[in-house]
Structure formats: C-alpha cells, structure tokens
Amino acid sequence: MRSLLLAGGRSSRMGKDKAMIEVDGHSMISRVVKALTLAGLEPIRIAVANPEDIEKYGSEVGVNTDVEWVLDARTHAGPIDAIEEALLDSGCGEILQLAAVDYPWVREDLFISLQDGLDDDNALIMPHDGEISHPLLALIRSEDVLGILHSDRRPLRAQFAEAKHSILIEKPEILRNVNSPEDLK
C-alpha cells in the first residue's frame, strides 16, 4: 500500500517551513515519514512545491526510505489539487494513505488502525478527535475519492463527510495539527 505525504504548503501562518521544524529533536517531516514507514505504507509519495524542497526534505527523510518525490503542478494550490494529482497517476494504487507534515505526533498505530478499519462498503476512513475529523490523515479508495473530488473545491472535510465513510476515534494529542507557533506549545 502507498501513501501520499503533503509537504507543499506555504506555512504562512507558521512564518517558516513547517516540514523542517523540530519536535522532540526531529523534523516534522521525518516524524511523519517514520510513522508511515513503520506502518508499512511505502512507497511514500511526497508532494512538494519547489524543486529545492526535494534536496532539503530528502536530507531529513533519509536514504533508506522508499520515496517518490513529486512537484505540485500548481505551486501552493492546496491539498485537494495535490491529492487529485496523485489519484490521477496510474501508479497510485487502489488504496492510498493520506498524511501531512502538520501532524508531527501521528504514530504508526493510527495508520495501522485505519488499514484495519477500512471496509469494502466505504470510500474512506478518517480519524476523528471527538470534535473534528482529520481528512488529511484519511485512508482512501482512490477511484471513489477521485469521483468525489472532481471539480469540487469545497473544504476536504465537507467533501469526505458526504462520502460513504467510517470514522476512527483517536486521542486528540495524536491528531494535533500544527499551523502556527502557538500549536507547538
């Protein structure tokens, strides 16, 4: 099974590149890559905004990880475009694990639980922290989700909520999303 790690954001609210911020001594991108790798979700397709990011992030990811680097077709267009691009690639596979660098506390057991929880009746399964869902950590059926995203630019949370899906309740501390310096406290 493959995964798609979204790492092409502007980090405008953070004021610096989120992927490179250290949390407990490791960059956010390396923490998410490690969780995906330990969950058996390689190859990891990492979507970046600029060619320079490949070298910069590659030094954090390490040489022993099966990574496929891709440049966003439209720089900083957002996660929906990056997901759609991945799903249009014939090498994407039937099922794809989404991930984003903004979730530095995510662990491999979350990804494993999502794999165990996706049934044949649903287009996707996404984690929920008791207050909100986290579609950027969803495990998706590629063909079903591509049909959902086609020409729809509403927030991913709204689109996925309308699809036939399952929810995995998870501890809020694992699903902490980092967008600003305050989120690291």
DSSP secondary structure, 20-55, as one string: G-EETTEEHHHHHHHHHHHTT--SEEEEESSHHHHH
Return the pLDDT at 60: 93
The domain tally of the chain equals 1
Structural domain harbouring 173: 2-184
To which H or E segment does residue 152 belong?
none
Return the pLDDT at 76: 65
Return the pLDDT at 77: 66
pTM of the predicted protein model: 0.93
Report the Cα–Cα distance between both ends of the chain, in Å, rounded: 34
Mean pLDDT by 10 residues, the chain (185 residues): 89 82 95 97 94 93 90 78 88 92 97 96 97 97 89 86 95 93 86
Rounded distance between C-alpha atoms, residue 86 and residue 112, angstroms = 21
pLDDT tens digits for 110-128? 999 999 999 999 999 999 9
List the beta bridge partners of residue 96: 2, 140
Amino acid at site 62: G
Task: Give the domain CATH number at 180.
Answer: 3.90.550.10
Centroid of chain to Cα 74: 18
Rounded distance between C-alpha atoms, residue 106 and residue 86, angstroms = 22
